[in-house]
């Protein structure tokens, strides 16, 4: 509180001058009234060396001078020149403020915004059948097309399904496909929509839900960054596309149906007989989605698939926070997530993974789930943040402890479609650090915090963690292909954890006898996912940009980014030209087996990447190296938006918290409400 002093003259009569102090000024200022002052005897203070007349006077001061004009012509010229300079300065300021900012150059170290934009475009490429409008835009269709984006007039491939309509992400050439998904002799469901998973034309529900939950988390944390880049509507459009599809996958039991249904897959891989007698399916055929003629039924899980239900409730609960301003839609998402939670509780006596069930047998070779406890902890955590109901927090922390006790060593540390435990630990640590609920959650939250701390240390500490390739890529699961998907999510978790510490003004992380500063944590994140920088030999800049170019192959593993990138991507739509012809199942294989680069650029797709020895083969027939996936690109988007820094000239957010919104995730929480 500012203090006010009444100055007492050292002679017999007081001067009657009232002064007060405001901390920011660092000096005494005149006070207009004695009633907001505190009277003190300044004789008790050391004598001031500042004369009393240095106090601001309540009267204005003036200076007198004489201006003599000897040459009126020169004076008029002076006035005109000065006025012109002022007008030019004002015009320059207006142009600077109003003209659109120039996008950074591809060779620039500030090019993460372009990489992020490309990575989001891959999701446009994988879409299946759009409805009338999404996020206020007319929608796309499920088809594979060559497109031209308005931004930069970038020629790229779009791979989506349905009936074409104009949108903010419109395309030059479109084709319809996947319009009967789910409707067959075996199933009668409307499963048009969603995303094709990878280089094939299958739609797996499990990785779709994972991708949507991760993208939603990035928007909740970094919406200011997305908005500054002009990509907020884009990423929300992608999320909305996914949630609309997820809502179709869940049919709760009712009076007419005693079973709860979850659709785990659209377009089964079983062989079906066509009119012409040929047996074809999504894997045996190499076709654009537009050329598919075979049935695409759905795989149906009845009263089972605990892990799929947990992942879906995480995606729907997290996305409900993304769309909180659209109240009716947000409410629908959270109500469906809560209904899935009740379904999971009913199956707790006989829980099982979806891939262990008959409904998931066709997904085992691609997305074989190793457990369900991590999905339940993940889903329960997001339900807590979305509702503020502390019973979900109790559930989530209990499941987290159980999952951490039973996690396999092969999965430890890797955040990807099969393991949500690392992400859940970081999320619960965020809660404990920034909004500690206290009793009765201290013990379990302490466990999650210790788990998260050990996780981050395992990423950045050479003595306690995972191996790194000579080129700088972290190897988390050496027995799995797709090394890049693990690197980018490790980068994301490290950076978001770094930002939590930064918002608390904690200087770094203690890892046993080692201490890693915030700069070190950020350096690790950038080393896995940010663009190549030249002109410096520092370790930090040598480590940046593995995915986007700074690696032994000297190539970007994002298609269409930089001068050198994979040209023979394992992707049906990308490898077959858009030439107006229909290619049969066998005719398409001609394009699969050719040695030439793909005719279409699947811009923004992150391929599987090199193996643990950093060998990479740009061959269409080697999907372990050249196939992109929906889940992998979700991790890439997360890493890129996390490491994006405000040095980029046209970004203006406050970086004191690392770019996160420290309170947005807590908007639904009410302290003291443990109902």
CA 473, distance to chain mean position in Å, is 21
Range with lowest mean pLDDT among 110-114, 310-314, 482-486, 665-669:
110-114
Range with lowest mean pLDDT among 7-16, 57-66, 192-201:
7-16
Q: Confirm whether 113 is domain-assigned.
A: no
518 pLDDT above the threshold of 60? yes
- Give the three-class secondary structure for 433: helix
The better pLDDT of the pair 276, 600 is held by: 600
Range with lowest mean pLDDT among 157-171, 259-273, 311-325, 373-387:
157-171
In this structure, are strands 508-511 and 17-22 parallel, antiparallel, or unpaired? unpaired
> For residue 398, what pLDDT is reported?
97
User: What's the chain's length in residues?
Assistant: 675
- Distance CA(604)–CA(559), nearest Å, equals 5
Highest mean pLDDT among 25-34, 67-76, 200-209, 267-276: 200-209
- Give the three-class secondary structure for 401: helix
How would residue 49 be classed by pLDDT, with cut points 50, 70 and 90?
low
**CB–CB of 306/191 below 8 Å?**
no
Range with lowest mean pLDDT among 177-181, 227-231, 338-342, 499-503:
177-181
Rounded to whole angstroms, what are the CA distances from 490 to 550, 582, 635? 18, 42, 9
185 pLDDT above the threshold of 90? no
Which residue matches tokens 């759905």? 298
- Distance CA(317)–CA(94), nearest Å, equals 43
- Distance CA(619)–CA(313), nearest Å, equals 38
CA-closest candidate to residue 192, choices 244, 249, 237, 129: 129
**CB–CB of 635/214 below 8 Å?**
yes
Q: Confirm whether 402 is domain-assigned.
A: no
440 pLDDT above the threshold of 90? yes
- Distance CA(529)–CA(538), nearest Å, equals 17
- Distance CA(636)–CA(547), nearest Å, equals 9
- Give the three-class secondary structure for 262: strand
Q: Confirm whether 131 is domain-assigned.
A: no
Count the alpha carbons within 13 Å of 375 in the hemisphere toward its beta carbon: 29
**CB–CB of 224/387 below 8 Å?**
no
CA-closest candidate to residue 475, choices 609, 610, 612, 631: 612
29 pLDDT above the threshold of 60? no
pLDDT above 70: percentage of residues in the chain: 74
CA-closest candidate to residue 195, choices 160, 143, 243: 160
Query: What is the number of other CB atoms lying within 10 angstroms of the CB of residue 176?
Result: 15
> For residue 407, what pLDDT is reported?
82
> For residue 665, what pLDDT is reported?
97
**First-last CA distance in the chain:** 39
Residue 262, phi then psi, degrees to nearest 5: -125, 130
> For residue 361, what pLDDT is reported?
85
Cβ-proximal residues to 109 (8 Å cutoff; 6+ apart), any chain: 531, 532, 533, 534, 544
Question: What region, left, alpha or beta, does residue 507 occupy, with left being phi > 0 and alpha being psi -120 to 50 degrees?
Answer: alpha
CA-closest candidate to residue 605, choices 227, 158, 232: 158
The residue from 118, 570, 571, 582 that is catalytic is 570
- Give the three-class secondary structure for 82: helix
**CB–CB of 512/457 below 8 Å?**
yes
Dihedral over Cα of 167, 171, 173, 178: its sign: negative
Residue range(s) defining the domain that contains residue 34? 4-54
The better pLDDT of the pair 353, 522 is held by: 353
CA 239, distance to chain mean position in Å, is 11
Q: CA torsion, points 241, 525, 308, 605, in degrees to nearest 10?
A: 50
> For residue 295, what pLDDT is reported?
85
How would residue 264 be classed by pLDDT, with cut points 50, 70 and 90?
very high
Q: Confirm whether 39 is domain-assigned.
A: yes
Q: Confirm whether 293 is domain-assigned.
A: no
**CB–CB of 512/464 below 8 Å?**
yes
How would residue 79 be classed by pLDDT, with cut points 50, 70 and 90?
confident
The better pLDDT of the pair 106, 249 is held by: 249
How would residue 391 be classed by pLDDT, with cut points 50, 70 and 90?
very high
Which residue matches tokens 């963690």? 465
> For residue 564, what pLDDT is reported?
95
Q: Confirm whether 43 is domain-assigned.
A: yes
Q: What is the pLDDT of residues 140-163, one digit of tens each?
A: 444 433 333 333 333 233 334 444
Q: What is the pLDDT of residues 277-317, one digit of tens each?
A: 447 888 889 998 888 888 888 999 999 899 999 999 999 99
CA 180, distance to chain mean position in Å, is 31
How would residue 271 be classed by pLDDT, with cut points 50, 70 and 90?
very low
Which residue matches tokens 């196939």? 627
Predicted structure pTM score: 0.78
139 pLDDT above the threshold of 70? no
How would residue 215 be classed by pLDDT, with cut points 50, 70 and 90?
very high
22 pLDDT above the threshold of 50? no
The predicted model gives 351-363 an average pLDDT of 88
- Give the three-class secondary structure for 673: coil
Active site residue 570: yes
Which residue matches tokens 């998973």? 197
Which residue matches tokens 């991507």? 569
As a whole number, the mean pLDDT across the chain is 79
509, containing H or E segment: strand 508-511
How would residue 649 be classed by pLDDT, with cut points 50, 70 and 90?
very low
User: Structure tokens of 60?
Assistant: 């204005």
CA-closest candidate to residue 234, choices 172, 175, 150: 150
The predicted model gives 245-271 an average pLDDT of 83
The predicted model gives 524-552 an average pLDDT of 59
Concatenated DSSP letters of 272-313: EE-TTS-EE-TTT----GGG--S---EEEEES--HHHHHHHH
**Domains: count for the chain:** 1
> For residue 10, what pLDDT is reported?
42
Q: Confirm whether 9 is domain-assigned.
A: yes
How would residue 53 be classed by pLDDT, with cut points 50, 70 and 90?
low
- Do you find a cis peptide bond into 440, omega within 30 degrees of 0? yes
- Distance CA(448)–CA(426), nearest Å, equals 8
537 pLDDT above the threshold of 60? no
Q: Confirm whether 187 is domain-assigned.
A: no
> For residue 96, what pLDDT is reported?
65
């Amino acid at each position: 509180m500012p203090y006010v002093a009444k100055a007492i003259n050292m002679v017999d009569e007081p001067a009657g001058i009232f002064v007060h102090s405001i901390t920011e000024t660092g000096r005494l200022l005149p006070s207009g009234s004695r009633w907001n002052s505190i009277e003190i005897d300044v004789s008790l203070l050391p004598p001031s060396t500042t004369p009393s007349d240095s106090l601001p006077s309540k009267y204005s001061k003036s200076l007198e001078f004489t201006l003599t004009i000897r040459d009126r012509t020169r004076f008029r010229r002076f006035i005109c020149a000065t006025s012109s300079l002022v007008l030019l300065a004002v015009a320059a300021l207006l142009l600077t403020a109003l003209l659109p900012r120039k996008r950074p150059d591809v060779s620039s170290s500030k090019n993460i915004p372009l990489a992020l934009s490309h990575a989001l475009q891959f999701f446009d490429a994988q879409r299946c059948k759009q409805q009338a409008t999404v996020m206020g835009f007319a929608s796309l269709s499920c088809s594979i097309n060559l497109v031209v984006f308005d931004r930069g007039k970038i020629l790229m491939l779009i791979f989506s399904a349905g009936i074409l309509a104009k949108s903010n992400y419109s395309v030059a050439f479109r084709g319809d496909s996947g319009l009967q998904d789910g409707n067959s002799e075996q199933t009668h469901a409307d499963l048009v929509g969603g995303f094709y998973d990878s280089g094939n034309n299958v739609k797996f529900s499990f990785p779709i839900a994972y991708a949507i939950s991760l993208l939603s988390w990035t928007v909740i944390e970094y919406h200011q960054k997305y908005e500054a880049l002009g990509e907020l509507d884009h990423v929300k459009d992608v999320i909305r596309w996914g949630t609309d599809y997820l809502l179709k996958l869940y049919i709760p039991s009712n009076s007419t149906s005693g079973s709860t249904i979850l659709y785990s897959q659209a377009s089964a891989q079983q062989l079906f007989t066509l009119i012409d007698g040929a047996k074809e399916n999504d894997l045996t055929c190499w076709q654009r989605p537009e050329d598919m003629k075979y049935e695409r039924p759905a795989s149906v899980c009845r009263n089972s698939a605990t892990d799929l239900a947990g992942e879906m409730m995480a995606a729907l609960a997290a996305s409900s926070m993304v769309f909180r301003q659209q109240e009716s839609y947000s409410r629908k998402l959270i109500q469906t997530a809560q209904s899935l939670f009740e379904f999971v509780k009913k199956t707790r006596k006989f829980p099982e993974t979806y891939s262990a069930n008959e409904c998931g047998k066709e997904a085992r070779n691609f997305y074989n789930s190793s457990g369900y406890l991590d999905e339940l902890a993940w889903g329960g955590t997001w339900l807590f943040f979305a509702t503020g109901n502390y019973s979900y927090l109790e559930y989530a922390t209990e499941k987290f402890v159980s999952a951490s006790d039973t996690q396999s060593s092969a999965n430890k540390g890797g955040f990807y479609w099969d393991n949500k435990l690392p992400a859940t630990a970081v999320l619960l640590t965020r809660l404990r650090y920034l909004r500690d609920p206290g009793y009765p959650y201290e013990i379990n939250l302490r466990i999650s915090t210790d788990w998260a701390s050990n996780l981050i240390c395992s990423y950045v500490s050479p003595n306690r963690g995972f191996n790194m390739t000579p080129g700088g890529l972290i190897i988390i699961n050496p027995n799995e292909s797709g090394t890049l998907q693990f690197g980018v999510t490790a980068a994301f978790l490290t950076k978001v954890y770094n930002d939590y510490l930064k918002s608390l003004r904690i200087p770094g992380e203690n890892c046993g006898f080692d201490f890693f500063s915030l700069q070190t944590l950020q350096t690790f994140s950038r080393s896995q996912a940010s663009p190549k920088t030249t002109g410096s030999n520092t370790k930090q800049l040598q480590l940046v940009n593995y995915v986007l170019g700074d690696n032994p192959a000297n190539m970007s593993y994002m298609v269409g980014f930089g001068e050198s990138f994979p040209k023979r991507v394992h992707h049906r739509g990308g490898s077959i030209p858009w030439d107006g012809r229909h290619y049969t199942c066998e005719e398409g294989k001609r394009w699969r087996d050719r040695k030439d680069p793909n005719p279409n650029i699947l811009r923004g797709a992150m391929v599987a990447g090199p193996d643990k020895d950093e060998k990479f083969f740009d061959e269409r027939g080697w999907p372990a190296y050249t196939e992109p996936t929906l889940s992998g690109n979700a991790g890439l988007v997360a890493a890129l938006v996390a490491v994006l820094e405000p040095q980029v000239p046209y970004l203006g957010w406050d970086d004191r918290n690392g770019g996160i919104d420290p309170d947005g995730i807590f908007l639904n929480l009410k302290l003291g409400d443990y109902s």
